[in-house]
């Protein structure tokens, strides 16, 4: 009798990773711009696709006017992209205790579509943080009236 044969095959996803830091100078001067008014980063490329960050200093809608909103947008036309992303505020000063808030990040790839076939959320993926949390930790996040938003993206091919 012949011995049993065991085989293993592996499939590893091809990934491309990159990050972009959006530097918002004059943080305090952008306040009062108005609900739904946006400031946008320069386009940046990750994984062969073009992306952009949109920053709403006075909230995206009337219901979110106490929140700073940041959206990650796929700019590449006629594209559908699976990606993981992580949006964070960069601490520009150090402190002994851990940060008092974190933005949740998706644990599974999110599908970005352009043009968006259904709703806004397919094209944009957002994070919100209370303005009071940024300003309450002013020496950490906006010590020179500059806010730094970092976006890490991993495109899954």
At 108-157, the pLDDT tens digits run 888 888 775 444 444 456 778 888 888 887 778 888 999 999 999 999 98
- Residue 74 neighbours by CB distance under 10 Å: 24
Q: What does the pLDDT look like over 20-74, one tens digit per residue?
A: 999 999 999 998 899 989 999 999 999 999 999 999 999 888 887 888 888 898 9
Considering the domain 15-156 in this protein, what is its CATH number?
2.60.210.10
Cβ atoms of 20 and 51 within 8 Å: the answer is: yes
pTM to 2 decimal places: 0.81
Q: Structure tokens of 12?
A: 């590893």
Torsion angles phi and psi, residue 78, rounded to 5: 50, 45
CA atoms within a 13 Å half-sphere pointing along the CA-CB vector of 49: 28
Cβ atoms of 157 and 16 within 8 Å: the answer is: yes
Q: Is 26 helix (H, G, I), strand (E, B) or coil?
A: coil
- Cα–Cα dist 30/8, whole Å: 57
Torsion angles phi and psi, residue 122, rounded to 5: -75, -25
Eight-state DSSP code of residue 63: G
């Amino acid at each position: 009798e012949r011995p049993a044969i065991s085989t293993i095959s592996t499939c590893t996803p091809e990934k491309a990773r990159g990050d972009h830091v959006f530097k918002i100078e004059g943080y305090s001067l952008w306040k009062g711009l108005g609900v739904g008014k946006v400031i946008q980063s320069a386009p940046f490329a990750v994984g062969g696709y073009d992306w952009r960050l949109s920053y709403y200093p006075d909230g995206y809608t009337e219901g979110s006017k106490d929140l700073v909103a940041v959206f990650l947008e796929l700019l590449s036309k006629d594209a559908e992209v699976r990606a993981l992303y992580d949006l964070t505020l960069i601490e520009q000063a150090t402190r002994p205790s851990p940060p008092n808030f974190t933005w949740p990040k998706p644990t599974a790839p999110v599908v970005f579509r352009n043009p968006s076939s259904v709703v806004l959320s397919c094209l944009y993926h957002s994070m919100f943080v209370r303005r009071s949390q940024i300003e309450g930790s002013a020496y950490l996040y906006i010590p020179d009236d500059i806010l730094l938003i970092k976006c890490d993206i991993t495109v899954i091919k």
